[in-house]
Every structure is written in structure tokens, then in C-alpha cells.
Amino acid sequence: MSISLPMLLLIAACAAVTALPRILPFLIIRNLKLPVSVMKWLSYIPICILTALVVSNIIEEGNPISLDWQTITVMIPTLLVALWTKSLLLTVLFGVVLMAVLRFILVLV
């Protein structure tokens, strides 16, 4: 399979358009001194994002709504890691690896 130059440029442009809005705010704000109230408000964002991701994955679509047991099984140790490390990065990495291991084991069985 070959990739033409216009397609390669399109992929590079899409990557830039996706990455810039995510990276640029961090580059701009890292040298600013924010008020304590703003910093406190920002500290709640990781747990809100994690909660939204977890809840949306626990509930499976269907009629009636059912629960995904694999996600619940992984969620409990991942939640403990989140409480222990207080790091969103480590929590997400742990959860992803744990889900991959669980799915790999289920494929073998």
C-alpha cells in the first residue's frame, strides 16, 4: 500500500489540528500564576472526567439498561489505585492494562 504526498499532508494537518488545541493551552498557562480559587476548581477536572468515562462504560446500551461486569471488575482495583496514587495518568494506565489482561484471559478460556 502506498501513500501519496497529498494524503500524507492531510494526515499531518489532521494531527496538527487535533494536537494544537490540546497542547497549546498548557503551553500558554504554564507560565501564569493562577488564583487559588481557579487552581482549586481545576483540581476537580480529572476526577470529573474519570467519573464520566467510568459511568459511561459501566452502563451498556439496551433495553433494559444492563451493567458491564468486565468494566465493574476492573473499576474496583482501578479506583483503589486512583485513591492511592492520586494520579490520573497512573490510574488510566493501570485500568487500561488491567482491562487488557482481563480480556486476554477471557479469550484464552
> pTM for the whole thing?
0.52
Query: At residue 64, what are phi and psi to the nearest 5 degrees?
Result: -80, 170
Give tens-digit pLDDT for 19-48.
Answer: 998 888 888 888 888 889 988 988 888 788
Give tens-digit pLDDT for 60-84.
Answer: 666 666 677 888 889 899 989 989 9
d(CA 19, CA 50): 21
Q: Higher pLDDT residue, 49 or 103? A: 103
Continuous segment of H or E residues that includes residue 60 = strand 59-60
Angle between helices 36-43 and 45-58 (to 10 degrees): 20
